[in-house]
Amino acid sequence: MAIQFTRNGRKAMLWAQVEAMRRGDLYVEPEHLLLGLLHGEDTGALRLLDKMNLAGYQVRDCAQATLGPESAGTRVETSQLSPSAKKAVEQARRETEATGDDYVGTEHLMLAILRGISDGIEPRPGLREKLNALGLVYERAAIAIQGVTPELPSLSDEPSPVMTAAPVLRPRPSFLKGRDFLSVSDLANDEIRALFELTREFKMGRTPDAGRGKTLALLFEKPSLRTRVTMTVAMNRLGGNVVYLGPEEVGMGKREAVADMARCLSRWVDAVAIRTFADSIIREFADASSAPVINSLTDREHPCQALADYYTILESRSETAGMKLVFVGDGNNVAHSLMLLAPRMGTHFTLACPKGYEPDPNILSEARELAKLYGTNFDISHDPLVAADDADILYTDTWTSMGQEAEAAKRRADFAGFQVNDELLREAKEDVLVLHCLPAHRGEEITDSVADSPYSGIFDQAENRLHIQQALLAAIL
């Protein structure tokens, strides 16, 4: 009986074809196969790289360097396996027989590509030298594969999108040691990707003790469910402790000067997560604090939420580049963080809001400049049906944020027609992903039929707040 590919193996082949198609290459070469193998989370190929103390981004950099830069507008409709890629697939079956496994996994395909490259199958010069410099050679991989748990077969033949590995720093706890995180703009692009890679490791079950013997203070002037619980659980999983200070204990700038609180707390704790109103408060606190400060929500931004959102998009869609994200609702703190992050992730961003509910002018200006810099689209529309056309992601949030309760009735009237419902979904792509940062006012900004639909990634977002914040704390402490 013919040896068949695991589901991850089939997905890797699919993504190799996608990599070739979007570059305008008519044939899938070994470099494209390597890129395809870097899609996924807990795959045999990634476990093999881990055994060799290598990260996916290092291999991706080598393959991309030999393929050259992508050219806009060159995408082709289909790509076929080249003769050298076909040889790699045939060799993967032989590698499977050699390891005694019944199915071809991504680890076997990785080994086969390395074998072919070592034997001189290299359509573009330089790949062998680049991989050799990393120590990624067939002989070492053949030894390392013996300690890799083989992938299990799957009865499903349907490929599904998974998270892609992108060029990132080698993620290690403390790589952002002592840094404040007040805005998505505080992180460089490679630091964001490294944080996502660390998040992936934590979600897979890695539990380093980066917080052992350390204490996180939660300084919250606004009520919270997701932020308080996920920050607490994240710090506990890192081996640390949490001190919660609610509105009655805080009163920053009222009960006590902000700078005085910062100077005291930073002598007692190792990091402070703040959830408050004015952005100026958290910045004043951070200026006076010797301990790193994390923005857990201000009226200006909600950066932890935006990171969790993009990690969720990566898990669901594998790519952020070229995606169209449509935010339907108020130009609020969540929208601010998303519109500042979107262009850096290669995402086109559209805000659909009623007139008079546009974002902060300074953030709006910054978002437009970033979109221009990264070659993405940024639009504001007052017609949600037009905005939702061809959307990959539909995102919404409550119409009335904390502190705006007196405006609730007026906002409900003004936002009528800006509901994410079945009608709006029909304007988006067939596989649209629906997101909401919660809490949701069902029947207002979103309907039950959408929130509970197969398109919804809302509770994946909520879960990923835990994983992204665990990674962020580990990186900062």
- Token pair for residue 453? 């639909």
Cis status, amide bond into 439, omega within 30 of 0: yes
> Active-site residue among 397, 419, 467, 470?
397
Would you call 437 a catalytic residue per the annotation? yes
Token look-up 């962020």 returns 472
Please give the Cα distance from 421 to 446 (Å, whole number).
Answer: 6
Q: Is 302 a catalytic residue?
A: yes
* Angle between helix 30-37 and helix 7-23 axes, rounded to 10 deg: 120
Annotated catalytic residue, options 7, 237, 302, 436: 302
Helix 333-341 crosses helix 361-374 at what angle (to 10 degrees)?
20
| Residue 465 annotated to the active site | yes
* Alpha helices for 269-420 (secondary structure H): 279-288, 303-317, 333-341, 361-374, 384-387, 408-414
Q: Which entry of 60, 275, 348, 411 is annotated as an active-site residue?
A: 275
In three-state secondary structure terms, 393 is strand
397 in active site: yes
Q: Report the candidate in 350, 351, 344, 352 with the shortest Cα–Cα distance to residue 320.
A: 344
Which residue in 62, 304, 353, 437 is the catalytic one? 437
Q: Which listed residue (465, 467, 469, 470) is catalytic?
A: 465
Q: What are phi and psi of 380, to 5 degrees?
A: -120, 130
Burial 164-184 (b: 16+ CB within 10 A, else e): bbbebbebebebbeebbbbbb
Q: What are phi and psi of 327, to 5 degrees?
A: -100, 120
Q: Which residues are catalytically annotated?
A: 275, 302, 305, 397, 437, 465
